[in-house]
Structure 1
């Protein structure tokens, strides 16, 4: 008997693990083909299907960092429409009880609180069920919308840093920012 995949639901969203199917790959290709969605990632250059398959899709799958501790396809509960993804995955080069939070949504889903709603569900899962001690989020300094989502989820500014990225992005001279929230801070806020 196969165990059904874990799903997370919020008032308006369903988050589910990605599957190794062409249908799920198509969803990610459509998302990453929008220059505005990719503005702060590749400078607006759409990703090709081959690039997505080789560079990002495999890590979104269970076993590749996805699933219960990774990437979640995000859909509207009432229509089933795919609007993007959220992730909460073990931090790269971080202690095992630290996780990175992320999200990428279709432009049509921007400004509706979906990024925050999915992020809050993953923060609750991360600190509650998964036992993380610290959750971080990172974005470009100039990405005000993403910074706002992190702030409204309770993460606070930690630092600005500069890294070499494969793509030149307008505003990258201002660097990237890290935000963080600890389990103790989350509990103190009445989670």
Structure 2
């Protein structure tokens, strides 16, 4: 297992082609997908042909950025993933998006906060990141709490066009952010 980052309770490792079933198991849970697709699972063909190839391509294209499988140290179980990557279409790595998706069995244990804080720390101390942002539906209170616990603050509410609106879309999306300077001030 190639470990990218280690926290007290998690290993964050590179994905491999063998992770198809891990991704499917995560995206098959309607509650996990509630604020992403309205609870619809991701088809196997999409995981195999689009998602996993895109995840794997990050490791060579942008070392230090991309997606990581989260593995619980105590059990060795796959509990979800984190991403830390530049905004789609961005040319630099000074502003990156933080994201996470965890199995329901891992909810409420602080894993999202633990993994996110570790990625933020690495971004600001080793990767030259100047700003971290995260987005979710306004109604996704649990994800918003994780962002706040990581030191990100609400910077805007926006209303994207939804091709296939899901419950809660009418309240919009939120963006939270944290700059390197803000993070450094809090370290002292």
TM-score of Structure 1 vs Structure 2, range by shorter chain: over 0.9
Aligned residues: 186
Distance in 2 (alpha carbons) for counterparts of 1:78 and 1:66: 30
How far apart are residue 130 of structure 1 and its match? 0.5
Q: Which residue of 2 aligns with 1:87?
A: 83
Note if 1:45 corresponds to 2:62: no
* CA 116–160 in structure 1, closer or farther in 2 if over 3 Å, else same: same
Aligned match for 2:69, one of 69, 73, 95: 73
Aligned match for 1:162, one of 151, 159, 164: 159
Distance in 2 (alpha carbons) for counterparts of 1:95 and 1:140: 26
Q: What TM-score, normalized by structure 2, do the two folds share?
A: 0.92
Q: Which residue of 2 aligns with 1:124?
A: 121
Distance in 2 (alpha carbons) for counterparts of 1:111 and 1:57: 27
Query: Unaligned regions of 5+ residues in structure 1, if any?
Result: none
Q: Is the contact between residue 33 and residue 47 of structure 1 (CA under 8 Å) also seen in structure 2?
A: yes
Note if 1:181 corresponds to 2:146: no
Aligned match for 2:110, one of 110, 113, 132: 113
Distance in 2 (alpha carbons) for counterparts of 1:105 and 1:164: 26
Q: What TM-score, normalized by structure 1, do the two folds share?
A: 0.91
Note if 1:57 corresponds to 2:52: yes
Q: Which residue of 1 aligns with 2:187?
A: 190
Aligned match for 2:29, one of 16, 34, 40: 34
Q: Is the contact between residue 17 and residue 62 of structure 1 (CA under 8 Å) also seen in structure 2?
A: no
